[in-house]
Amino acid sequence: MALKDLLVCIDPTTPSDTRLKLAFNLARANKAHLSGAYPLPEPHVARSDSAGFGGVPGMTGLTEEPSPGGGVSEVFREAEVAERVEHRFKDELRVVGIDGEWHVVPDGDSAELIELAKSVDLTIMGQRPPRTDGAARFRPQDIVIAAGRPVLVVPYAGIFETVGKRVLVAWDGTREANRALNDALPLLADAEAVTVMFVGTNERDLEQYFPALERIVRHLQRHGINATAEETLRAGLAVSDVLLSRAADLAADMIVTGGYHHSQLRETLIGGVSRDLLQHMTVPVLMSH
């Protein structure tokens, strides 16, 4: 199924520039509808890191330094910023010939964003930076778990204008991993190379999972995807570290992984792969639950 309905989470920060440009590029390539979700903060919330907004032409410098004191004046200021961003977003939609719509959601309350994410093919949102006082107030894992749709999480550092050319798929035979792989199919269609990787604890793991791994790769190949199987041992490392290291070796522009296994014991044993990837990601991560 093609990507025809996209949602991008926008905030008035510099990292949002890359995220928005990626969303426009995906929408343009897939002739998709693109919705923007903008968090309107509570009156007492002060913004930081507001140097720019929107990496597409004409969408830079939409924010101002917050005035001291907050209160009612802060509410009006934030509403004015949101309105200006909305006009620029819609103008850019018209320029590039993309259909779309605009939503304002409460900052920090993920309920409305989750409802929006339930009715799109893919939600694009930002990684939470080490300091969360100025951006990415929504936790990606909340949307992944509750929406039942894939989420593409974009790192807060780096430039990522496209995804899907060289992809690393983290596969371990779980329902979540298979769901993520299926959700990623539209983004893998034109890939130059897709590596499906199983990370085992011991040689017995590798032997046990290899037949299923080969079946998954053949499944992708039947879809015309240039996929290969790969398996490796953890060797005492965190699974997330193994994946990130291999992604760097492959010059991957995206990692595909299942998000948040139901088993808390399993999550503990594997070191919280989903959590660690979201904390230390260096390329966009497509995650499904």
Report pLDDT for 225: 98
Three-state DSSP at 54 gives: coil
Among the four given CATH numbers 3.40.50.620, 3.40.50.720, 3.90.79.10, 3.30.1330.10, the one describing domain 5-154: 3.40.50.620
Please state, for a pLDDT cut of 70, what percent of the chain lies above it. 83
Three-state DSSP at 189 gives: coil
Better-scored residue on pLDDT, 57 or 107: 107
CA distance 127 to 34: 20
CA distance 64 to 210: 55
Look over the chain and give the mean of its residue pLDDT values, rounded to a whole number: 85
Which of the residue ranges 60-74, 104-118, 166-180, 213-227 would you say has the lowest mean pLDDT?
A: 60-74
* Structure confidence at residue 272 as a pLDDT band (50, 70, 90): confident
pLDDT of 42 higher than 90: no
Report pLDDT for 132: 53
Report pLDDT for 207: 96
- Pick from 14, 15, 35, 13: nearest CA to 24: 35
Three-state DSSP at 135 gives: coil
Domain boundaries, the chain: 5-154, 166-288
Which of the residue ranges 61-75, 85-99, 193-207, 211-225 would you say has the lowest mean pLDDT?
A: 61-75
pLDDT of 70 higher than 90: no
- Over residues 88-137, the pLDDT tens digits come to 899 989 998 999 999 999 987 899 999 999 999 999 999 987 765 545 56
Strands 151-154 and 285-288, bridge-based pairing: antiparallel
Report pLDDT for 205: 95
Report pLDDT for 128: 85
pLDDT of 47 higher than 60: no
- Pick from 209, 190, 39: nearest CA to 113: 39
Helix (H) or strand (E) run with residue 197 in it:
strand 193-200
CA distance 225 to 247: 18
DSSP 287: E
* Structure confidence at residue 43 as a pLDDT band (50, 70, 90): low
* Structure confidence at residue 50 as a pLDDT band (50, 70, 90): very low
pLDDT of 182 higher than 70: yes
Fold agreement between 5-154 and 166-288:
yes
Compute CA distances 29 → 3, 25, 33, 155, whole Å: 9, 6, 11, 21
Domain 166-288 annotated CATH 3.40.50.620: yes
Report pLDDT for 73: 74
Q: Which residue has the tokens 């008035």?
A: 12
